[in-house]
Structure 1
Amino acid sequence: MISTKAPILKFESDLWSFYVAIPKSVGDKLIEGKDRRIICTINNAEPIHGALMPKGDVYSIYVKKDFLKKHNLSEGDEVQVSLEKDRSEYGIPIPESFMVLLSQDLEGSDYFHKLTKGKQRSLIHIVGKVKNVDSQLAKGLAIMHHLKEAHGELDFKRLNVLIKEYNNRKGFI
């Protein structure tokens, strides 16, 4: 694990909000080939799974507004950052409900595992951003349905329609 102090800065973009700026000399120690995935802990709070993204003479690690608000942090604050290489299979925590679906639906799982790691993380994030297990299952079932129907070709517009359909079903399990 590597520890350093780093400022919270704001992106000059509408797409991203805030990041911690990590010196290249620190970040370089955690990059293996093209793999930039890390686990970042700010001021001993809950860990953030992310990536070291090049930004000028530093690496940026995206930090959500909700995280800053929850921990009473704001732009310009200097924070204590602990970094470690993320060696998890997907680079993001995966809800148990989705793991169960992947283990039970072999065809859907096969399509899921043929996706890029980034697309896998996007789908895991869709499931994991809700805490209610029934909602997670509805989203997971919609994802598996979509992957099989589209033979592994992701169409997020179609997937969102399916998720809404699954969310509106009663007794889908």
Structure 2
Amino acid sequence: MMTASTFILILLFVMPFVCLGLKLFVDYRKLDELERYFRGNEAVQRNKRFWGRNQVIDRTMRMSILIGFFMQPRTHVKNNDVTWKELNSVPLALKRWVLWPFYLSLMYGLAVTVWVAGTVRNFVFGHNMLKRCMYANQKEDGLGGQNRASFDPEGAD
């Protein structure tokens, strides 16, 4: 039977490939469709001209501005980067294709951070904590690390 820690380690190993696959799918299959809804948007068109070589980094950077629009719409509307009409013209299914892989990657990043922080904490403090617990037990029972069954105060056999 698989333990929880083994399952988590397998998940931490598999998730980067899932996230990368989803990111590449969205960048190459959904980006052009999404940019059609922002044809008249100056920020998107400027970004598209600057990152126009159609390589992975270019598509990632073009997608990042759109992810920002959907994650913080009020901020971008307030800054006149996008209008509510443009944001509402994008179908909900397409918005989900843009945001969910990004959120999944964020959750993966948080999980790795927690795992690494726990590992480092155990590495740095774990050994010392074990010694402290052993020392506390020795002081507590006054036997110097021996249990009561093996301790003979008389020294007799």
- Rg: which structure is higher? 2
TM-score of the superposed pair, with normalisation by structure 2: 0.25
Identify the structure with the greater strand proportion: 1
Larger relative contact order, structure 1 or 2 (CA cutoff 8 Å, min sep 6): 2
TM-score of the superposed pair, with normalisation by structure 1: 0.24
Identify the structure with the greater helix proportion: 2
